[in-house]
């Protein structure tokens, strides 16, 4: 009986929770109770685990997206001639054609490109500085849509003691994956004769020491992988009764800033039905 009375007194004070068996602090009016310090941390309460099976619908694993092709750093030219594409404002490129000529171009604006071409190896021979190629160029992109680009271009040159100018148009139909290129231009040279390509001083008495030639160029490219393009550049030169046909198939390997063209140039003279092959190696860098 005494034990029952003691338990009732303890429960009335709120010091023991008989349901959980854990000590509980209960504030009674006028009584300030503090939890006594414990030397050992109390064990956490057991987590309640729901043992019912849960079905979760997961999203399908997406397939890997194929890598997008890299932007061609040399898209402003084919293996021989330029295309209708121009460099963007502030972008520049340095090109070595056939390991002979060296070309530098810079985008003055998004639609205007300026360039300079030279044959630096001629500086190594006597009088090379006087006979080497000096050519300045300007290219103006007049029209650019999703599938059509039109560009006007002009070259001013001096070589082996004579001077000349070339002006024309270049067009492109297509995109980076596949496109067709077509252009035409006129070449006018002063100080030369139509036969022999002699300078004016060696042609005393020539009636017309000039040369005018019509140039028609076309070609195309197709992308076969994100870093590889196949190209074909075909050009026709017409001067009086003479004609010259030039075809240059090549493969372009490129990264983000560097491009290399490997191919062959097939040259055929229509008047004599003679021809020859020239290995073609172009290297370019663009930033």
pLDDT at 90 over 60: yes
User: Other CB atoms closer than 10 Å to residue 224's CB: what's the count?
Assistant: 12
At 200, give phi and psi (nearest 5°). Answer: -65, -35
| CA distances in angstroms from 64 to 60, 223, 228, 283, listed in the order given | 12, 21, 21, 33
65 within domain boundaries? no
Who wins on pLDDT, 41 or 110?
110
Q: Which residue has the higher pLDDT, 37 or 101?
A: 101
Least confident of 157-171, 216-230, 252-266: 157-171
39 occurs within a structural domain: no
- For the ranges 20-34, 101-115, 184-198, 234-248, the lowest mean pLDDT is seen at 20-34
CATH number of the structural domain spanning residue 280: 2.40.160.40
* Residue 128 placed within a domain: yes
Residues 23-38 have pLDDT tens digits of: 444 444 444 444 455 5
Name the burial class of residue 115, with classes exposed (0-12), middle (13-18) and buried (19+) by CB atoms within 10 angstroms of its CB.
buried
pLDDT digits (tens, 9 = 90+) for 38-70: 555 555 555 554 555 556 566 665 554 456 778
Model-level pTM?
Answer: 0.69
Range of the domain at 240: 92-286
Whether 277 has a pLDDT exceeding 50, the answer reads: yes
Question: How many Cα atoms occupy the beta-carbon half-sphere of 166 within 13 Å?
Answer: 21
Structure tokens at 271: 């008047």
Does residue 11 fall inside a structural domain?
Answer: no
Is 121 inside a domain boundary? Answer: yes
- Tell me which of 123-127, 155-159, 180-184, 220-224 is least confident: 123-127
- Give the number of domains in the chain: 1
Of 25 and 287, more confident: 287
The residue with tokens 């005494």 is 2
> What does the mean pLDDT of the chain come to?
79
200 has pLDDT over 80: no
How far from each other are the two terminal CA atoms of the chain, in whole angstroms? 99
Q: Is residue 175 part of a domain?
A: yes
Q: Is 86 part of any domain?
A: no
Q: What pLDDT shows up at residue 246?
A: 95
Task: For residue 137, list its beta bridge partners.
Answer: 115, 155
- Rounded Cα distance between 248 and 124, Å, is 29
Q: Is residue 68 part of a domain?
A: no
């Amino acid at each position: 009986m005494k034990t029952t009375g003691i338990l009732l007194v303890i429960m009335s004070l709120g010091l023991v929770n008989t349901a959980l068996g854990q000590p509980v602090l209960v504030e009674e009016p006028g009584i300030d109770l503090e939890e006594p310090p414990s030397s050992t941390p109390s064990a956490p309460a057991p987590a309640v685990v729901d043992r019912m099976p849960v079905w979760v619908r997961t999203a399908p694993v997406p397939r890997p997206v194929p890598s997008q092709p890299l932007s061609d750093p040399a898209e402003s030219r084919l293996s021989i001639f330029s295309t209708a594409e121009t460099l963007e404002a502030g972008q520049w490129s340095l090109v070595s054609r056939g390991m002979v000529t060296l070309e530098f171009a810079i985008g003055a604006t998004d639609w205007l490109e300026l360039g300079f071409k030279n044959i630096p190896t001629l500086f190594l021979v006597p009088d090379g500085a006087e006979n080497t190629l000096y050519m300045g160029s300007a290219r103006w992109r007049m029209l650019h849509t999703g599938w059509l680009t039109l560009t006007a271009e002009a070259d001013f040159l001096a070589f082996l003691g004579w001077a000349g100018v070339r002006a024309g148009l270049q067009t492109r139909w297509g995109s980076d994956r596949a496109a067709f290129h077509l252009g035409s231009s006129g070449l006018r040279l002063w100080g030369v004769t139509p036969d022999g390509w002699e300078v004016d001083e060696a042609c005393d008495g020539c009636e017309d020491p000039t040369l005018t030639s019509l140039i028609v160029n076309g070609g195309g490219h197709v992308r076969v992988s994100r870093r590889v393009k196949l190209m074909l550049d075909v050009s026709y030169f017409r001067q009086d009764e003479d004609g010259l046909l030039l075809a240059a198939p090549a493969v372009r390997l490129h990264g983000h800033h560097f491009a290399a063209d490997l191919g062959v140039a097939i040259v055929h003279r229509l008047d004599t039905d003679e021809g020859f092959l020239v290995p073609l190696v172009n290297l370019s860098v663009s930033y």
